[in-house]
Amino acid sequence: MSMLHHRFWPKGFPRTLEVPETSLYYNLEAAARRYPEKPAIVFYDTIVTYAELKEKADALAGYLQQRMGIGKGDRVLLMSQNCPQFVIAYYAILRADAVVVPVNAMSTARELEHYVSDSGAKAAIVAQELYKSVAPCMRDDGLGGLGHVLVLRYGDFLREKTGMSVPEPLLQPDLGIEGKGVVRWNDALAAACVPGEHLAGKDDFCLLPYTSGTTGLPKGCVHTHGSVMAVMAFTQVWRQLSPASVFVSVAPAFHLLGMQNGMNIPILLGSTALLLTRWDRDNAASLISRYRGTVWAAPPAMLLDFFANPDIDRYDLSSLSLITGGGAAMPEAVATLLREKFGLEYIEGYGMTETASGTHTNPLYRPKRQCLGMPLFGVDSRIVDPATLKEMAPGEVGEIITHGPQLMKGYWNNERATAQVFVELDGKNFIRTGDLGYVDEEGYFFMCDRLKRMINVSGYKVWPAEVENMMYSHPCVHEACIISTPDERRGEAVKAVLVIKPESRGSIGEDDIISWCREQMAAYKVPRSIEFVDSLPKSSTGKILWRELQERESGVH
């Protein structure tokens, strides 16, 4: 195991940390006892206190148990945008000793059919505008499928007038959804059911998030209270967060980045979370300035949009003290703007759905750019040869494998996939990440790209992420995605799909970009062709969907 990073380990930090033995729900119970009247959530300008959050989560847990027949280990689908009801529902499912199956709010009916049948979910909690996608999964024939669906309306929690621009889903009237097995959120809470004793502990199954997966159908990752809690406990200490921290919770909570950093960690601390249902850069800036937001975990694409706002100087962002994220490298130009204009470093980290998000992060006082950071407390990460699993020397590229308390137990009902992703070394279970990277001489980890994403140009290896980072330093480039295109002579060639900044559109052409690239990078890395587009396809968390562009390119030829 490489211990190089211990030379730069933050002063006063232990090498390992004890993970709390309690359930995730216990964090809410403790926060509500400590800070009953403190705002747990600010939703636009509506405040939800910790006492109210716990009271509603308990009542909903009682309803799940008594009226929906949800017992220990049962799976409950949760599908909505960010709102107080998402947080209440999440903790209610945990309070009922059940398992949260968080689902992307943009999932199609066909995808939902897979999530429901694969997870064996008995019930679902969904936002009303998404009900139509879930309805086909309801069954009353005893053959599986959803027996109950609880429908929520975002607008029910907008109790205060707000000066912010409220998105359309919050203004939607009650759609009056009815039917067998359907219940309204307010009716469920009004039943005032009292839940049974809370029994779940560290080793109990609590979360089944699905990976987007590079091949085949998405796979469910089996997480326990302990594996999810490990990331929260480590992050809290590493980032020096406290009950006084105010979290900007605008990344989607159905995804691990938003779930952990925007919901679970604030509740562990008894902090306040500032919630938005839809990403809106002006609303985000309003929330930060009005409620003095201090901590923000966001993917680079979200920050790119936020700091490109021409009206940004109208807002007081001086309270922001920490911006973190991962999922894609932060373009150098934006990182420089953050540092020079706002005095902030972008603290990059790394994790996967299989590891309940974080396994690596940069030290706050010695971060490196476009770097995954170093393994967190008690995490053993190595760079190995993907074929032989032999550990590579510093500077050599190989596959990142990782071991630690945040690892999932395996893929749900998929022994074959579980066997393929785990490998045993030195008596420890490691996960194969499928990501290629290297460790520098100081023990910091860097990612080159996905194992399956490398472009082979006449035998030279091109990592798209590296070329993308260079493209972002071009003054006219707003967003970039690098893909491969077939080439008769070279086998593959590099292609750049670019979004040009509005003020530069029409004044720059393909030849200008290519000649600029020739001065910036080795000849084999230079894109052979450029495609200008108005926007790039993105996931709900703002990651550019390179695979979609790659498949389209491959299909064209």
Beta-sheet strands, E only, within 153-300: 182-184, 205-207, 223-224, 246-249, 272-275, 295-297
Question: pLDDT-based confidence at 212, cuts 50/70/90?
Answer: low
- pLDDT tens-digit profile of 4-35? 777 889 889 999 999 999 999 999 999 999 99
What is residue 123's DSSP assignment?
E
The single-letter code of the amino acid at 142 is G
Minimal CA–CA distance to 356: which of 416, 290, 402? Answer: 402
Question: pLDDT-based confidence at 556, cuts 50/70/90?
Answer: very low
The CATH number of the domain covering residues in 453-556: 3.30.300.30
Cα-to-chain-centroid distance, residue 238: 19
- pLDDT tens-digit profile of 254-281? 999 999 999 999 999 999 999 999 999 9
The predicted pLDDT at position 141 comes to 57
The predicted pLDDT at position 232 comes to 97
% the chain with pLDDT above 90: 75
Report the DSSP beta bridge partners of residue 123.
Answer: 76, 148
The single-letter code of the amino acid at 188 is A
242 has a pLDDT exceeding 70: yes
Report the DSSP beta bridge partners of residue 325.
Answer: 348
Q: C-alpha dihedral over 521, 526, 530, 533, to 10 degrees?
A: -40
Q: CB neighbours of 244 closer than 8 A, spacing ≥ 6?
A: 271, 294
The predicted pLDDT at position 76 comes to 98
Question: pLDDT-based confidence at 214, cuts 50/70/90?
Answer: very low
Neighbours of 349 (CB within 10 A): 25
Token pair recorded at residue 309: 């706002």
The predicted pLDDT at position 540 comes to 65
% the chain with pLDDT above 70: 95
Element holding 457 (H helix, E strand): strand 455-457
* Location of each CATH 3.30.300.30 domain in the chain: 453-556
| HSE-up (13 A, CA, CB side) for residue 388 | 4
* Location of each CATH 3.40.50.12780 domain in the chain: 17-325
Token pair recorded at residue 410: 């395996």
Q: Which CATH class is domain 17-325?
A: alpha beta
What is residue 503's DSSP assignment?
G
The predicted pLDDT at position 451 comes to 64
The predicted pLDDT at position 140 comes to 66
Token pair recorded at residue 284: 């985000």
Token pair recorded at residue 388: 């032989």
Q: Which residue has the tokens 């330093």?
A: 473
Angle at 77 (CA atoms; ends 225, 281), nearest 5 degrees:
90
Average pLDDT, the chain: 92
- pLDDT tens-digit profile of 139-162? 765 567 899 999 999 999 998 899
Question: pLDDT-based confidence at 216, cuts 50/70/90?
Answer: low
**CA 67 – CA 73 distance, rounded (Å):** 17
Question: pLDDT-based confidence at 519, cuts 50/70/90?
Answer: confident
More confident residue, 454 or 71: 71
Strands 39-43 and 182-184, by their bridges, are unpaired
- pLDDT tens-digit profile of 415-451? 999 999 999 999 999 999 988 899 999 999 998 876 6
The single-letter code of the amino acid at 59 is A
Cα-to-chain-centroid distance, residue 242: 21
Strands 491-500 and 477-487, by their bridges, are antiparallel
- pLDDT tens-digit profile of 316-337? 999 999 999 887 667 777 888 8
